[in-house]
A and B are shown apart, each in its own frame.
Chain A
Amino acid sequence: MLWSEGLGRPGSFWRDWETIENQMNRLFAGAAPSAREFPAINIWADGDTAVVTTELPGIDPGSIDMSVVGKTLTLRGERRPEEVENGTYHRRERWYGKFGKAIELPFDVDADKVSARFSKGVLYITLPKAETEKPRKINVKTE
C-alpha cells in the first residue's frame, strides 16, 4: 500500500479535500492499492534485488530519511521554498514542503545491505532480498 502525508504545495481547498479523501480511503481500503502519491517512483526488480528510483531535484541528499522494515521502504524528506529577499514571484510551480511515502516491495529486504545513491537530483535505492526469503535447496537423504 502506498501512502503519503500532506504535501506543502501551495494549498487549495481541493488539495486539502483530497488529503482527507485519501486518508478516508486508506482507513477503509486496507491493503487495496491506493492513489499514487508524491514522490512518483519507479521500481526495477529481478529475483534478488529491487531498485527504487525517485526524482527529488534540489533537495539536500543528507536530509532524506530512509528506513526499511520487512517489505516496506519508507522515504521522508523536505524541500524548502526558495528564499528571496525583495522579490516578486511571477511563477511558483515547484513543489516544496514535507513528504513521506511508504513503498511495499515484492519481498523482505535485507536492511543491512540497502544502499542509496543520489545523483543529479535522482535518488537510486538498491534493496537486496533477505536471505531468509531466498529459496533453499534441500537434499534428500537416502536411507
Chain B
Amino acid sequence: MAKTEETIQKKEVQQAERAERTRATRVFTPEVDIIERRDDILVVADMPGVDETSVDVTLEKNVVTIYGKVQPEVPERGRPILVEYGIGDYERTFTLSNEIDREKIKATVKNGTLRLLLPKAEAAKTRKIPVMAEP
C-alpha cells in the first residue's frame, strides 16, 4: 500500500537547485507529459492552483524552466481535519535537445494545466527527403 500512497502524492522538490529560496514555501515537481511532434514539442504540466498570471516560463539557451506560484486558498473558518496533500509552488526544468524557435513559444494555462508549445526552429525540423530512382 506504500506504493499507492506514493502514486497519489505530489513530489516535493528535494533541494533548492542553483539558488536558495527567499520565499518560505513548499515547492513541488509538477507531473508532465512531453510529446514530440514533427514541428514542435508539447509540454503539458499539471499545476493545480496556478493561472496565467502566476506562471513563469523562461528559456535560457536550451534550458526551459517553468515556475508556478500558488496563492493558497484557505477557508476562512475552521481548522484542517484531514490533510492528504500539500500546497505550494511548482518548479521544473528541462533541457531541450532540439533547437527551439524562441519567438514562437506559446504557453497557455487552463484549469490548472499548463500547455507549453515549443516550435522547432526551421533547421531542426524533420525534413522528408525524396528518394529518386536512378536513371
- Determine if chain A interacts with chain B: yes
* Number of A interface residues in the complex (CB < 8 A): 51
CA–CA, A84 and B41, complex, Å = 11
- Shortest B37–chain A CB gap in Å is 5
Q: With a CB–CB cut-off of 8 A, which chain B residues contact A82?
A: 33, 35, 42, 44
CA–CA, A118 and B48, complex, Å = 11
Q: A71-91, CB under 8 A of B: which get 1 and which 0?
A: 000000000001011111111
For residue A39, CB closer than 8 A to chain B, the reply is yes
Q: With a CB–CB cut-off of 8 A, which chain B residues contact A55?
A: 48-49, 85, 112
The answer to whether A44 and B37 touch across the interface, beta carbons within 8 angstroms, is no
Q: For the side of the interface on B, what is the size category? A: 35 or more
A58, A94, A106 pick with most chain B CB within 10 angstroms: A58
For residue B75, CB closer than 8 A to chain A, the reply is yes
Interface residues of A in 91-135 (CB under 8 A from B): 91-95, 106, 118-122, 124
The answer to whether B4 and A18 touch across the interface, beta carbons within 8 angstroms, is yes
The answer to whether B34 and A90 touch across the interface, beta carbons within 8 angstroms, is yes
CA–CA, A94 and B34, complex, Å = 10
For residue B51, CB closer than 8 A to chain A, the reply is yes
CA–CA, A68 and B48, complex, Å = 25
For residue B63, CB closer than 8 A to chain A, the reply is no
Q: Which B residues form the contact surface with A (CB < 8 A)?
A: 1, 3-5, 7-10, 31-38, 42, 44, 46-51, 73-75, 77-85, 110-113
Q: A46-B77, A121-B46 are in contact. List 10 more A-B contacts (CB 8 A).
A: A56-B112, A57-B46, A58-B46, A84-B37, A85-B37, A91-B32, A120-B51, A121-B112, A122-B49, A122-B112
